[in-house]
Amino acid sequence: MIPFTFNDIEVGARLVEALARQASSLRGMPITYGDLLALARSLYPKDEALGRAVQVGIGPKLLFVEGFCAAHGYPNLACLALDRDTVRPHPAYQGEWEADRLAVAGFDWSGIAAPLAAHVAAQRAMVPARYKPRKERPADVAWYAYFCSHRAACDKLGPDDKQEIINQMMAGLDPETALARVLAARPAFGAAG
pLDDT tens, residue by residue, 91-144: 777 878 889 999 999 999 999 999 999 999 999 999 999 898 999 999 999 999
Q: How confident is the model at residue 193 (pLDDT cuts 50, 70, 90)?
A: very low
Per-residue pLDDT, 141: 95
Contacts of residue 95, Cβ cutoff 8 Å, sequence gap at least 6:
76, 79, 89
For the chain, what is the total number of helices (H) and then of strands (E)? 10, 2
pLDDT in tens, 154-183: 988 999 999 999 999 999 999 999 999 999
Q: How confident is the model at residue 1 (pLDDT cuts 50, 70, 90)?
A: low
pLDDT in tens, 16-43: 999 999 999 988 899 999 999 999 999 9
- Residue 177: Cβ within 10 Å count: 16
Instruction: Calculate the CA dihedral of residues 17, 114, 60, 14 and round it to 10 degrees.
Output: 30
> Considering only CA atoms, which of 125, 81, 77, 131 is closest in space to residue 100?
77
Side-chain half-sphere exposure of 4, counting CA atoms within 13 A: 27
| CA atoms of 161 and 75, how far apart (whole Å) | 31
Q: How confident is the model at residue 192 (pLDDT cuts 50, 70, 90)?
A: low
76 has a pLDDT exceeding 90: yes
What value does the mean pLDDT take over residues 66-93?
87
Residue 3: strand, helix, or coil: coil
Q: How confident is the model at residue 190 (pLDDT cuts 50, 70, 90)?
A: low
> Considering only CA atoms, which of 191, 172, 188 is closest in space to residue 9?
172
What value does the mean pLDDT take over residues 4-10?
95
Per-residue pLDDT, 115: 98
Whether pTM > 0.85 for this model: the answer is yes
